[in-house]
Amino acid sequence: MSEVKTIVISDFTTASGVPYKSIDLHYQHFGRDYKDAPVVLINHSLTGDANVAGPVGWWSEIVGPNLTIDTNRFAILAFNIPGNGVNDYLLENYDDFHTGDIAEIFYRGLEALEINHLFALIGGSIGGGIAWEMAALYPTLTKNLVPVAADWKASDWIIANTFLQKRLLENSNDPLRDARIHAMLTYRTPASFTERFGRTKNIEKKIYNVESWLIHHGDKLFKRFLLDAYKAMNHLLASVDITRNGEPIEEIIQKIESDIHLVAIDSDIFFTPEEDLKTFNFVKTFKKNIFYHEIASIHGHDAFLIENDAVSKIFSKIFNA
């Protein structure tokens, strides 16, 4: 595991006008020196972190030596979303922030490292939303923009689910576990559950195996994640929207110089492929360098963390071009 390093972002003011004297931005670096190699920035998902490679990295089968995102060729950076609890760091008033602010903080982090251009800007789920926000704010920042299981805005469905998550986090007697159990129902699919569990029972616990699995995931998150961090990340997820300042989406995306690679999952019931296809079909009428890729999987939203071969096949078109 690479060392977690910290950049202090000084004198930051949120888009809503709230000043912060300093914000800690934690990050990890893998592979080549970012001063003399093409740089890839990877943004993590809701309860993820910056540990993308190595033995316990969440994309360890995709990012590493001689893998699709080859650490022998590229410098890979990953920032922790401020407030996600890494190093016990929380945002005191997370309601002050939206994902556009996080995008600006990430950009300030790149500036502090003297990085002015990326080969690729990748993000999964909320990380893809932040990637969209960064590209909207800085249209020449990256050669390739790669939002995975993500979109440029939180849909009504995302907003509805984060609303329920917020109620669970504020009102449940066991908020982290209950919120995680609900979330897992949106990250997977009925077909995924049927294939895995088939209505089998855990004889010892006298419950269905699917119930045992959900309890396990609730317990896992409870042990590694802070309640206030989950509240902050859930708030940020609902805030994704590159058009929040009133500029038409067409004008915003026209300015983005990057090749845009939308990566959707055919069974995703959270960031649905239908939303990505709407974006693709609309944008391709005025921007030629946008591409749509679809992962076939029964596993839903989490397929970008499960279907490593399919993800690698899509990414190889970008990284071996």
Nearest to 233 by CA among 289, 176, 297, 316: 176
* pLDDT in the model for residue 92: 86
Q: Collect the ranges in the chain with pLDDT lower than 50.
A: none
Fold held by 5-153+242-319: Rossmann fold (3.40.50)
DSSP string, 64-111: ETTSSEETTT-EEEEEPPTTS-GGG---TTGGG--HHHHHHHHHHHHH
* pLDDT in the model for residue 190: 98
* pLDDT in the model for residue 19: 97
> From the CB of residue 305, how many other CB atoms can be counted at a distance below 10 Å?
20
Residues of the chain within CATH 1.10.1740.110 domain(s) are 157-236
User: Hey, what amino acid is at 106?
Assistant: F
Residues of the chain within CATH 3.40.50.1820 domain(s) are 5-153+242-319
User: Cβ(106)–Cβ(79) under 8 Å?
Assistant: yes
From residue 286, give the alpha-carbon distance in Å to each of 121, 198, 252, 318: 22, 47, 12, 22
- Token pair 């300015």 is found at 255
**d(Cα 64, Cα 31) in Å, to the nearest integer?**
7
Q: Which CATH class is domain 157-236?
A: mainly alpha
User: Is this model's pTM higher than 0.95 or not?
Assistant: yes
* pLDDT in the model for residue 249: 98
Classified as helix, coil or strand, 259 is strand
Nearest to 187 by CA among 42, 90, 263, 298: 298
Q: Do you know the residue count of the chain?
A: 321
* pLDDT in the model for residue 321: 74
- Token pair 């800690």 is found at 24
**d(Cα 105, Cα 109) in Å, to the nearest integer?**
6
**d(Cα 131, Cα 20) in Å, to the nearest integer?**
23
